[in-house]
Amino acid sequence: MPPEPETKPIQPINIAIDGFSSCGKSTLAKALARELHYRYLDTGAMYRAIGYFALNKGLVDKDGNVDEANLILSLPDTQVGFAIDPETGASMVSLAGQVVEPFIRNLHIATLASKVSQIRQVRDHMQILQKQMAEEKGVVMDGRDIGTVVMPRAELKIFMTAEPSVRAQRRQIELEGQGKIMDLKTVLDQQIARDFEDVNRKEDPLRQAEDARILDNTDLTAEQQLALALYWVHQAKHKECFLKK
Ligand code: DC
């Protein structure tokens, strides 16, 4: 019988990424997942999918108010999940097995996502799914409450920030790419309102976990921030390996 190896192979870890909108969370999360061959889970997409579900089921009135009681009753029917695009490997959110990714990346759904994400029962339902998805390890998850609520024991937690004006400029360029021209002041005002909402809402407001590493990417390129995050992954993996020995 061969002798027992002295060191155990390094196991995959979980990576939690939180931060304000337009900080580049999904860019970093996708790049990390690609490099490490981990699964990427975009929790914002899950709340967007619930907003889309509510709209399709007639649970949103003409003023944009959500019928919370019936949405809560319908939560078991939503069956939020993720499918992998076989060509690109991209992760796509689905409802009852139907990919809804192309329908959720617009302002109407973003507004509904913000509303439904403030309903306690919706959050509980999503967080149970998210925790299940994290059980196997090797997951990169981004959102607002990942390091604090969903994966408080993630081996690596990253809290992303960037100068507000730089974030607004990035958002303006992103909107331009979608054919929406908006002046910088309007983009910045909307961003300030969203940030205020994220930090001050009652249910799971955006907070930096105590043991999170701060990644301020104001002056970093996508490549530089990936290199930094990979260095942290390396450290976190070796710390885990050392602790387990
Ligand atoms: O990151 P995003 O814009 O796709 O998120 C959509 C909405 O969901 C946004 O209002 C913030 C909210 N959200 C949340 O409450 N908790 C998360 N873990 C992720 C997103």
Span 119-161, pLDDT tens digits: 999 999 999 999 999 999 999 999 999 999 999 999 999 999 9
Confidence of residue 26 (pLDDT cuts 50, 70, 90): very high
Place of tokens 């709340």: 47
Asked whether residue 176 carries a pLDDT value surpassing 60, the answer given is yes
pLDDT for residue 86? 86
* pLDDT tens figures, 61-72: 999 999 999 999
Give 161: exposed, middle or buried? Use CB within 10 Å, 0-12, 13-18, 19+: middle
Asked whether residue 164 carries a pLDDT value surpassing 80, the answer given is yes
Here the tokens at position 183 are 């002046």
Sign for the CA dihedral angle at 142, 145, 146, 150 comes to negative
137 Cα distance to chain centroid: 16
Pocket of ligand 1 (CB under 6 A): 21, 43-45, 47-48, 110, 113-114, 117, 143-145
- H/E stretch holding 233: helix 222-244
Confidence of residue 178 (pLDDT cuts 50, 70, 90): confident
Taking the centre of ligand 1 as the mean of its atom positions, its distance from the CA of residue 241, in whole angstroms, is: 33
Residue nearest to atom 15 of ligand 1 (CA): 117
* pLDDT tens figures, 33-61: 999 999 999 999 999 999 999 999 999 99
Of ligand 1's listed atoms, the one at least distance from the Cα of 150 is 18
The beta-strand segments (E) located in 20-155 are 39-42, 80-84, 91-95, 98-99, 139-143
Q: Which domains does the chain have, with CATH numbers?
A: 13-38+139-236 (3.40.50.300), 41-137 (3.40.50.300)
Mean pLDDT, the chain, whole residue set: 93
Confidence of residue 87 (pLDDT cuts 50, 70, 90): confident
* pLDDT tens figures, 109-121: 999 999 999 999 9
Residue nearest to atom 6 of ligand 1 (CA): 44
Of ligand 1's listed atoms, the one at least distance from the Cα of 114 is 10
Place of tokens 């100068």: 163
